[in-house]
Chains A and B, each alone.
Chain A
Amino acid sequence: MSKLASTDGAAGWEHFEHGADVGLRAWGPTLEAMLEQAGIALTAAVTCPASVRPSERIAIEIRGRDPETLLYDWLNSLVYEMAVDRLLFARFQVHRRDGGLAAEAWGEPIDVARHAPAVEVKGATYTALNVSRLPDGGWLGECVIDV
């Protein structure tokens, strides 16, 4: 579990250790902000997010209500789009809709020379999957990704 007790209204992310793979931890004042940060943490497992230009936009829709399943589905949708269109994403905007999420992600095709991708993400897992509320009302999300 994170030492994090408060977001102070800010959003952020970090990686935590997992035996063979990478743990993502993201937080924000809202569920949407937390999911956006989780998207950046996902990119950061592959390359430096600042190296990715937000030149192309894709839309993602996710159905469901359970926050943990939303995090699982959100990360796996991004993994799918990264794999199929060979994209990396730098910026995210997540909106809550009735019955799920509507999101946009901005990025660009992988440039091996510039991005030097360290790993390919196979999928987000249920290992250490956790979405919880912080004492200040903020949101915390954690997930281990298989790389």
Chain B
Amino acid sequence: MDTAKLERITATAWRIPPHDGMHVPGIVYADEYLIADMDDKVCQQVCNVAKLPGIVEASYAMPDAHWGYGFPIGGVAAFDPEAGGVVSAGGVGFDISCGVRTMLTGLPANRVVEVRDTLADALYAEIPVGLGSTGHLHVVGEEMDAMLLGGARWAVEQGYGDAADLERIEERGRMAGAEPATVSDRAKTRQRDEVGTLGSGNHYLEVQQVAEILLPDVAEVFGLREGDAVVTIHCGSRGLGHQIGTEFLREMVETAGEHGIALPDRELACAPIESALGRRYLGAMRAGINCAFANREVIGHLARQVFARVLPEARLDLLFDVSHNTCKEEAHPVAGESAARRLFVHRKGATRAFGAGDPALPEPLRAVGQPVLIGGSMGTASYVLVGTPRDGGHAFRSACHGAGRALSRHAALRRWRGRDIVNDLEQRGIAIRSPSMRGVAEEAPGAYKDIDAVVEVAERAGLARRVARLTPMICVKG
């Protein structure tokens, strides 16, 4: 990114002064190295978001930001409904509530190493993964609506999951305000066989080792012990979320003019929060969040069943479940103001990161803050961070979500062969299971930014603190 037009305000934050119709400045969290590698299009997209009606404080980009659709991936923006603020289908994205959950096995990693290939094969056989796979459940009619209203609670009621999991999921496993009637029949049809499927692309299930503890007091509360094995799942709302995104994006593009909105980019399609379309989208998007909650809960249950067979001493207690493509109604003080405002916070490839004392967090997490789960890619590390207490001016208590891509799929395919990557990772003790070697090449570890640098900057910027570093042992990839 060309930094000539940016003001460096701290070692880890760059400000883009408002220009050309921006209502607020842009703020990009990065050090000099991350900012140099960031695409200029991220800057352009941060500026475009700042032009949307009712945006408050700033248009933010996290340290892992890369070129997305309308919003940068790694973008955070909040809108005030009282000031004509909007909700944007493009600002949430196609994979509504895509997210990460981490479960604790309570076992040392060497117990996994002993059965690694058996466990990898069993997980790959049991968890539906990749294009064309179907879930264990066939969900239609009233059952579909119950799932869209109930989220992870619905999954637990169906016998897929554990009631103790619910308080370890954002919104306690059930997003309020979901309106299944606003979700089209096509979206529901697309989901009927996809509940409990992992999907493809960058979605995965990994068995990881806690390689390093960086914040011992918090790690203890989280139940993370150095050398232990954990299971991490990355996936979202599957076909239902994708279809909701596709349909509302189109409708918001078509009606932007009627709402008096001049879109700087069609992909920023949006509608006033206080409009019929805005409310309808919120009802559908919240149903999509519940779909993602249910999906991850079911997959977590399938993983538990596999472990019960292969490694019966493993517990698989849920540490936490975060979402990173959402729009949430939250109260935050806007920088320079003392009272909190009711805002609609879009996090597109960004994670909510509530700090200690936040009433949204369950005990005992309230004492230390929310686990912020940062997914890596096959060969690279993942991280567990913790949210930090903050008042305004810090991206509405948000943090990064992953490493972020550095190379396109196209470029990755030119550079690597999937089989070589699988062999290389095997040499390093990492077992890959995937239906597609081309998919593995497109998701090559080298196609991603340096995750260690991304989370280090997130910590220095005060967005979240590093608790533990995780390294992969098994990766089941769609």
Contacts and interface: CB of A to CB of B under 8 A. Distances in A.
A15 interface: yes
B266 A129 contact: yes
A118 B436 contact: yes
Given A19-B408, A116-B436, A123-B246, A46 B267 contact: no
Contact of A117 (B246, B266, B436): B436
A119 interface: yes
A118 B405 CA distance: 17
Contacts of A18: 67, 408
B200 interface: yes
Contacts of A17: 408, 410-411
A117 B408 contact: no
A129 B250 CA distance: 12
B190 A116 contact: no
Interface residues of B, number: 48
Interface string B395-418: 000000000010011110000000
B269 interface: yes
A19 B246 contact: no
15 contacts: A19-B66, A19-B73, A19-B405, A19-B408, A20-B68, A20-B409, A80-B186, A83-B239, A116-B435, A117-B130, A118-B442, A119-B131, A120-B131, A125-B267, A146-B93
The 5 closest A-B pairs by CB, nearest first: A110-B132, A19-B67, A117-B131, A126-B266, A118-B438
B245 interface: yes
Interface residues on A, range: 35 or more
A78 B255 CA distance: 24
B95 interface: yes
B409 A127 contact: no
A73 to B, nearest CB: 8
Contacts of B93: 146
B478 to A, nearest CB: 7
B41 A19 contact: yes
B267 A126 contact: yes
A19 B39 contact: yes
B201 interface: yes
Given A19-B405, A20-B68, A83-B190, A120 B199 contact: yes
B246 A76 contact: yes
Given A19-B66, A146-B69, A117 B132 contact: yes
Contacts of A124: 246
A110 B131 contact: yes
Contacts of A120: 130-131, 199-201, 478
A123 B245 contact: yes
B437 interface: yes
Interface of A: 15-22, 46, 69, 72-73, 76, 79-80, 83-84, 86, 109-110, 112, 116-120, 122-127, 129, 144, 146-147
B436 A125 contact: no
Interface string B234-250: 00000100110110011
Contacts, number: 122
B66 A116 contact: no
Interface centre among A20, A117, A147 (most CB of B within 10 A): A20
B201 A119 contact: yes
A114 to B, nearest CB: 11
Nearest to B194: A83
Interface in B203-257: 239, 242-243, 245-246, 249-250, 253
B44 interface: no
A84 B239 CA distance: 9
A61 to B, nearest CB: 14
Nearest to B197: A120
B189 interface: yes
Nearest to B66: A19
A117 B269 contact: no
A117 B68 contact: no
B94 interface: yes
Contacts of B70: 126-127
B267 A86 contact: no
Interface in B179-200: 186, 189-190, 194, 199-200
Contacts of B73: 19-20
B69 A144 contact: yes
A117 B410 CA distance: 15
B201 A147 contact: yes
B439 interface: yes
A20 B37 CA distance: 15
B200 A20 contact: no
Interface in B62-104: 66-70, 73, 90, 93-95
Contacts of B243: 80, 123
Interface in B119-139: 130-134
B190 A19 contact: no
Nearest to B98: A122
Interface string B423-437: 000000000000111
A19 B269 contact: no
Q: Which of B73, B131, B436 has the most CB of A within 10 A?
A: B131
